[in-house]
Amino acid sequence: MNKIFSAIATHMAHQSGRPAAFLFAVFLIIIWVATGPIFNYSDTWQLVINTGTTIVTFLMVFVIQNTQNRDGAALQAKLDELIRASSQAQNRFIGIEHLTDEEIEEYRKSCSALAKKAAERVSRRAHVRAVDAAEKTTS
């Protein structure tokens, strides 16, 4: 069942993102608007478009969420593999997507602090190189 739904969801998400799908939707709206005078802009005429768009929206929520979940999980697995394979990466980051928002925020703050320290080291090294180069040119 999961495999079938995933295949259908992937196909539907792919097809609904194409320009032809947009043009088809515009065509349906034009047809609906054109039939307004025929049905005297009745409540039933309005109900047709309201019901149709509600049903399509309701179903597309599940399709899009399914594809987003799979894409996110695949991306996370790829990132985890890069972390695992890198000798300088910290393996503690593997699987942090399962933590609470507060725990992830702590990791984010830790990364920001480490990035700031690394930037300061690079800046100091660049400054030392510039001073060394200036001393070499004056001597």
> What does the pLDDT look like over 106-120, one tens digit per residue?
988 988 898 898 889
In this structure, what is the dihedral angle of CA atoms 100, 101, 102, 105, given to the nearest 10 degrees?
A: 130
Highest mean pLDDT among 33-37, 77-81, 92-96: 33-37
Residue 85's alpha-carbon distances to 10, 49, 90, 95, in angstroms, are 30, 53, 10, 15
| pLDDT score at 139 | 65
Confidence category of residue 47, pLDDT binned at 50, 70, 90: very high
* Per-domain residue ranges of the chain: 2-98, 100-139
Confidence category of residue 97, pLDDT binned at 50, 70, 90: confident
